[in-house]
Amino acid sequence: MSLQSKYLAGISLGIMGVGFAATIPFQGTIAGGIIQGGFEAGLVGGLADWFAVTALFRHPMGIPIPHTALLPKNRKRITKGIVSTLENDWLTKESITNKVKEMELAQIVLQVAERELQSDNVRKGIVTIAEKAILQINTEKLATVIEKELKTYLHTIHTGNILQVLIDQLVAEEYDEKTFDYMLVKAKEWTLQDEARYQLGSLGMKAMENIKVEGFLQFTLKSFMNMVDEEKIGNILQKFVISNIGSLQNPDNSTRQLILMKIRQELIQVKENEAVLQELENWKESLITNWKVNEKIAEILSQAQERVVAFVKKEEFTNKYLLSFLRAQINKVKEDPATIQRLEEWLQKQIVTFVENNHSKIGKLVQENLDKLDDQTLIEMIENNVGKDLQWIRVNGAVCGFMIGLVLEGIKAII
């Protein structure tokens, strides 16, 4: 309330009082009597309205007159009435929910989200949330879970089935023959080396020395050994081995075909051999049980976590990946009427549920805020907001009283 309006009523009363006193000497005349009656009625009307307005807030002149200081005395009832009006008349559940249903909440939310994506604070906030979310991951616990799930899955794998598939694939793709040819090539390469020749010669001489024969054969063997040495024996064996390897490399060689047939038969027998399959299964179970992979998984996860955090902090992640992904999702939602409808229904449901669960808190909030104010503060607040109008009530009382007094005194004078 301004200083001017605060003293306006007092000025009006002062004018009426001064006018009344000034016209006393002229009350014997008709005009003086009429004017004095006007000032008298104005003074009475102003004082009456001053008393009435003051009685709303406090005792006039501090005198505890009955039915004055109405606001402090009836504060609880007035507050209760305000709260009841808010809850039951102005801000009812139905009015709030009906208003919410009229709003296109989904469009509003999408527009706000799309606009705020351009904000640096939002970008930094999203990056910070993503970084903290990544760092919140307990790699040790996650490694334990992964190890458990991995071992559980490995236990379900039947090694016999894997072995059968591998052998069938090996035979179908002729990997056995290719492996055999590879071994022949490597054997031939080794045999052609000088070291191999010396080793073959040494083995040949030792073998002949260990041969036990009698009579003429013994004489013949010793004579032959005196004629040759390790190098000659090595050359003979080297040529022999190379020749046989060359024969085995020939696809039409019967010995080669018999060897390959035997290999395939052994492979087929292996996949049908229950003892071998059970041994493989036992080996697998033992390997899985004793496999301590937790620390390695935790180490890998920790390194991955550090790399992901470092990548999230880069501007490339925000501009190229995060924001483009969020914009794409927003556009996808905006272009799909069904999704918009579901989002709208969900938002309205959440707000309606929130209103229903917290509607009583509106009154409680008003009640709490009013209860925080003492009587003097509350009165000053009301006077500051409506005080100007209250002062004009007092002024109007004085002016109206003055006019009515003039009329009444005029009538008296005429009569």
Residue range 195-219, pLDDT digits in tens: 888 888 788 777 766 666 555 556 5
More confident residue, 12 or 249: 249
Nearest to 73 by CA among 61, 48, 56, 49: 56
| pLDDT exceeds cutoff 70 at 393 | no
Distance CA 415, CA 409 (A): 10
Residue 222: alpha-carbon gap to chain centroid:
92
User: Exposed, middle or buried, 160 (CB in 10 Å: 0-12/13-18/19+)?
Assistant: middle
| pLDDT exceeds cutoff 60 at 255 | yes
Q: Is 68 helix (H, G, I), strand (E, B) or coil?
A: coil
Nearest to 110 by CA among 336, 312, 309, 264: 336
Report yes or no: 82 and 370 within 8 Å, Cβ to Cβ: yes
Q: What average pLDDT does the chain have? A: 76
| pLDDT exceeds cutoff 80 at 55 | no
Average pLDDT of the residues in 268-289: 80
Number of other residues whose CB lies within 10 A of the CB of residue 387 = 19
How confident is residue 69, by pLDDT bands cut at 50, 70 and 90? low
Low-confidence winner among 25-29, 58-62, 217-221 (lowest mean pLDDT): 217-221
Provide, rounded to the nearest whole percent, the portion of the chain with pLDDT above 70: 71
Predicted TM-score (pTM) of this structure: 0.43
The one-letter code for the residue type at 58 is R
Report yes or no: 48 and 388 within 8 Å, Cβ to Cβ: no
Nearest to 268 by CA among 156, 170, 137, 407: 170
Nearest to 197 by CA among 227, 228, 240: 240
Task: Give the pLDDT confidence of 162-194 residue by residue, as tens digits.
Answer: 777 777 787 778 888 888 889 989 988 888 888
- For the CA atoms of 146, 150, 153, 154, the dihedral, rounded to the nearest 10 degrees, stands at -170
Average pLDDT of the residues in 340-351: 83
| pLDDT exceeds cutoff 70 at 327 | yes
Backbone Cα Rg of the chain: 55
Task: Tell me the torsion sign for CA atoms 93, 96, 101, 104.
Answer: negative
Distance CA 50, CA 55 (A): 8
pLDDT of residue 1: 47
* DSSP line for 118-180: T-HHHHHHHHHHHHHHHHTS-HHHHHHHHHHHHHHHHHHS-HHHHHHHHHHHHHHTTHHHHHH
Cα(first)–Cα(last) distance of the chain, in Å?
A: 46
Report yes or no: 69 and 58 within 8 Å, Cβ to Cβ: yes
Task: Tell me the torsion sign for CA atoms 334, 339, 343, 349.
Answer: positive
| pLDDT exceeds cutoff 60 at 387 | no
Distance CA 245, CA 252 (A): 13
Distance CA 299, CA 322 (A): 27
| pLDDT exceeds cutoff 50 at 221 | yes
